[in-house]
Chain A
Amino acid sequence: MTAVLIEASVKVAVFLVLLLTVVAYMVWVERKVSAAMQDRPGPNRVGPMGLLQPLADGLKFLFKEDIVPANAHKPLYLLAPVLTLAAALAGFAVIPFGSSIEIGGRNISLAIADVNMGILYVLALGSLNVYGLMIAGWASGSKYSLMGGLRAGAQVISYELSMGVSLIGVLMVTGSLRLSEVVQLQAGGFWHWNLVTQPIAGLVFFVACFAETNRLPFDLPEAESELVAGYHTEYSSMKFAMFFMAEYAHMVTVSALMAALFLGGWHLPFFDLQQAGWSVTAIGLTHMAVFAAKIAFLLVLFVWVRWTLPRFRYDQLMDLGWKVLFPLALANLVYVGIGIAMGLPWLGGFTR
């Protein structure tokens, strides 16, 4: 029991450090990629190629003046960014980064807590994400923030629905809620990936992820031109930095989920490493590298889409969520149901 606790703590520490570093460098990635798309150099003063820019940004946030508006409800005002960041980071616990590694004879699985209800846990944390936004909007005591918070809340719960229903298709094919099993059943090649067998579900999930993380084209709640800065208008210095970090951390989490659920997780198609006689640890680390590569690709995709598409108007956004994505997710469910009943081979992931 002690060993289990130590193992879990070490895993949590390692993943947290990795995740926060990735979040910090996402800022750099965003600025560099957007610069490339806009034909300008981007940050290149602080360190080689601007690589120390996140450090400079962090220091800036630390030293900024901390302003608390007079009308704010202090306890909830301080709670909101903490809540957002916590919900964003906690989603990482169930994602399987690889099969397992062996250290000193112990087989250590590369997921912090691979519970047998992984998908439900992810959905639960998605539901909790709403509160940080809404409470921040209300507790700031300003009209812009309140409107931003309400809009963000409505947007997130609308798209949460399509996200959940698209996951049901994956659940039906896998026959289990455990994320590592979802990954296992995508072994073998590109055509086994859930993105290929259920493309509509993958598309719906991906679009819903954009809406969940409040990224363009769905970032009306924080739109600069419309609402000043929406629900985080009245936040400054470290609290704003927490919102910032929470948004990127949430992006990383949903990219990891998308990779695990639809892009085959840590599987490297066409290479059977076990047959090649690699050690368990080497295989585990390779899996982690493959997973990280898929996450990186998705993150760049997030940034790419942000700087390409214009923002949706609020009613267009709600229409898309309820009238387009939700019926598509339901249609995918019907397709998967009929497919499993008919015994379509590419959907026959589980046989009960």
Chain B
Amino acid sequence: MSLEALPLEMIVFVITAAVAAVAALLVVLHRNPVVNAVALIVNLACLAVFFLLLRAPFLAAVQVIVYAGAIMVLFLFVIMLLDLKAELHPPRAGAFQRVMAVFAGAAFLSLMVLAMRRSRSTFAMKEVADAGHGTVERVAEEMFRNHLVSFELASVLLLVAMVGALVIARAFAETPDSQEPSA
């Protein structure tokens, strides 16, 4: 029995896609905000697996470190600090709005499927068998050669966000908390 014959990538893709979809539904539908957050973490991890399958190992690592490892920690912190219990009647929009939301979702989905169908002709899958695609060196080359200004602006943005978050979170507190984590 040879393992090369098994469509290993396909199997991994299908399993990961199923888990990601279920997790996304849990994020949106479950009433307990902590379960929502944990489901989002699972979803982000599935996306990291997708990035690995799509030959973007650096982005997979950054996804886990930044998104699943820092941003979601921030979310969990806020949820736990606010001690949001699973409400008996979770805050949901009125019935009309929920129905409209499903319609809007269906509209978006059909829009995207249409776009995909129309563009399929330009998709000639150029299997660019470039060994360095997606590695740290390649991404770094691209970023620091062609997008250096954007990189510097992104660091300024992060600084501004950090300062802003600190100011906003402290401004209204009578007894300021001494640790407000900001990503």
Contacts and interface: CB of A to CB of B under 8 A. Distances in A.
A73 interface: yes
A140 to B, nearest CB: 12
Nearest to A151: B179
A38 interface: no
Interface of B is mostly: helix
B34 A138 contact: yes
B49 to A, nearest CB: 12
Interface residues of A, number: 34
B175 to A, nearest CB: 14
B65 A120 contact: yes
Contacts of A115: 57
Contacts of B65: 120, 123-124, 127
Contact of A127 (B2, B4, B64, B81): B64
Interface stretch (A21-29, A129-137, A274-282, A302-310): A129-137
A157 B58 contact: no
B32 A124 contact: no
Interface in B9-42: 32, 34-35, 38, 41
Given A121-B61, A123-B65, A153 B136 contact: no
A83 B42 CA distance: 12
A154 B179 contact: yes
Interface stretch (B66-74, B112-120, B160-168): B66-74
A2 B73 contact: no
Contacts of A121: 61
A5 B4 CA distance: 11
Contacts of A76: 34-35, 38
Interface of A: 1-2, 5, 73, 75-76, 79, 115-117, 120-121, 123-124, 126-128, 130-131, 134-135, 137-139, 146, 149-150, 153-154, 157-158, 177, 315, 318
10 contacts: A1-B3, A2-B3, A76-B34, A76-B35, A117-B61, A131-B73, A134-B73, A134-B80, A154-B179, A157-B73
